[in-house]
């Protein structure tokens, strides 16, 4: 079966099999990883190696702390203003979809939010040219969502925001292709899409920005707490961290992010071609900003949605139902989705159209 869930999403089969092999007894220690003390030598080696592998994959310099946190990407919506305002009162946000909106709503509790561009009027199907954005050079930071998981709208380029620190919610696209981390002040990503199981959120943050939190910030919401303690101020999500480490090794074995990028570009392009080549299926997103990871599409007749989903599931193509806000279908095709899964979906779509279109 191929699982097109937006998250928690498919993990590489090899990784799950390795975890299964090691489940009861990790490398002769007589312990499962989930039973280990996070401060013991065994787990410390797992945690350190995972961080190093992530640093290697993304070429992350020592100027950045890499944090393995809990609370999901949603906690970052508040932690970011709490940590990065640094005495300033205004922040810039780009509104390109449902996740941008959530980040904006939370930031408004702490700062004056300037929405520099807003795709609401076009129903989050395109992004205005940067020349038309209203950026504010005195903003504490600019926040954007490189890939909107629900709408399937993705920036093709990293925005150029000059000297203002750039902050990005990479939850549904980190590790899908190479990324120049040095362009960012802070990157965060919930793990449950391209990284590993739910329960873990990665934060990659420039160290020079730490230690200037808003008065009253809880110690657990201060990035410096976690940076100073190797993400072990409290008990971390040990098993999710371990599994993410196995995913990083899988990525390294399989050609790293360059190779992933090639495969992911091909997978997405095939599926969009199939949709565009048919009068029965439709994807509304401006082709310049189509997501490589989350591809929503509708059928010409929504009365057939149920049947489409049932027949897809009967063919081993799972979780294609669209987000409840948009309806229709959504195929999430993260790193762990083999190209063969996309080929099977395309073949099924063609056959369904032939029968019902």
Contacts with ligand PLP, residue ranges (CB under 6 A): 7, 72-74, 99, 145, 149, 169, 171-172, 190
Is position 55 annotated in a ligand binding site?
no
Minimum CB–partner distance for residue 40 and ligand PLP (Å): 28
Choice between 76 and 349, CB closer to ligand PLP: 76
End-to-end CA distance of the chain: 25
DSSP symbols for 85-121? -TT--EEEEEE-SHHHHHHHHHHTTTSEEEEEEE-GG
Choice between 117 and 172, CB closer to ligand PLP: 172
Catalytic residues: 99, 169, 193
Is position 73 annotated in a ligand binding site?
yes
Is position 48 annotated in a ligand binding site?
no
Q: Cα–Cα distance between 196 and 201 in angstroms, integer? A: 10
DSSP symbols for 118-164? E-GGGTTS----GGG----TT-S-EEE-SEETTTTEE-SS----TTS
Q: Cα–Cα distance between 333 and 335 in angstroms, integer? A: 7
Choice between 169 and 353, CB closer to ligand PLP: 169
From the number of C-beta atoms within 10 Å of its C-beta (0-12, 13-18, 19+), residue 92 rates as buried
Q: Cα–Cα distance between 339 and 330 in angstroms, integer? A: 17
Asked if residue 142 lies in contact with residue 281, where contact means CB atoms within 8 angstroms, the answer is: no
Is position 176 annotated in a ligand binding site?
no
Asked if residue 200 lies in contact with residue 244, where contact means CB atoms within 8 angstroms, the answer is: yes
Is position 125 annotated in a ligand binding site?
no
Minimum CB–partner distance for residue 190 and ligand PLP (Å): 3
Choice between 172 and 283, CB closer to ligand PLP: 172
Give the CB-nearest residue to ligand PLP.
Answer: 72
Minimum CB–partner distance for residue 127 and ligand PLP (Å): 15
Minimum CB–partner distance for residue 244 and ligand PLP (Å): 13
Is position 319 annotated in a ligand binding site?
no
Which residues, in sequence order, are CB contacts of 132 under 8 Å at separation 6+? 117
Choice between 145 and 240, CB closer to ligand PLP: 145
Minimum CB–partner distance for residue 74 and ligand PLP (Å): 3
Binding site: which residues? 39, 73-74, 99, 149, 169, 192, 234-235
């Amino acid at each position: 079966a191929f699982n097109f869930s937006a998250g928690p999403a498919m993990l590489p089969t090899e990784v799950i099999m390795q975890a299964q092999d090691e489940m009861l007894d990790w490398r002769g220690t007589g312990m499962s990883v989930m039973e280990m003390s996070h401060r013991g030598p065994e787990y410390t080696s797992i945690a350190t190696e995972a961080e190093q592998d992530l640093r290697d994959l993304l070429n992350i310099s020592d100027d950045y702390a890499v944090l393995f946190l809990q609370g999901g990407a949603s906690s970052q919506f508040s932690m970011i203003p709490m940590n990065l305002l640094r005495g300033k009162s205004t922040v810039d946000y780009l509104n390109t979809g449902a996740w941008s909106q959530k980040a904006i709503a939370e930031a408004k509790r702490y700062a004056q939010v300037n929405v520099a561009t807003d795709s609401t009027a076009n129903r989050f199907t395109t992004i205005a040219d940067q020349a038309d954005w209203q950026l504010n050079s005195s903003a504490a930071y600019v926040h954007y969502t490189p890939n909107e998981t629900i709408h399937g709208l993705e920036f093709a380029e990293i925005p150029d925001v000059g000297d203002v620190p750039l902050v990005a919610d990479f939850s549904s696209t980190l590790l899908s292709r190479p990324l120049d981390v040095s362009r960012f002040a802070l990157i965060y990503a919930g793990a449950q899409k391209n990284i590993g199981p739910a329960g873990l959120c990665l934060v990659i943050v420039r160290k020079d920005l730490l230690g200037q939190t808003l008065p009253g910030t809880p110690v657990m919401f201060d990035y410096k707490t976690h940076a100073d303690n190797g993400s072990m101020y409290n008990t971390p999500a040990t098993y999710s961290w371990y599994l993410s480490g196995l995913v990083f090794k899988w990525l390294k074995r399989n050609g790293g992010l360059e190779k992933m990028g090639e495969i992911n570009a091909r997978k997405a392009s095939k599926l969009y071609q199939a949709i565009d080549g048919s009068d029965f299926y439709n994807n509304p997103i401006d082709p310049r900003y189509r997501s490589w990871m989350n591809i929503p599409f509708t059928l010409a007749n929504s009365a057939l949605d149920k049947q489409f989903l049932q027949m897809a599931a009967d063919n081993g193509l799972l979780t294609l139902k669209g987000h409840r806000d948009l309806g229709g279908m959504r195929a999430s095709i993260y790193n762990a989705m083999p190209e063969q899964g996309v080929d099977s979906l395309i073949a099924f779509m063609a056959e369904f159209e032939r029968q019902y279109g």
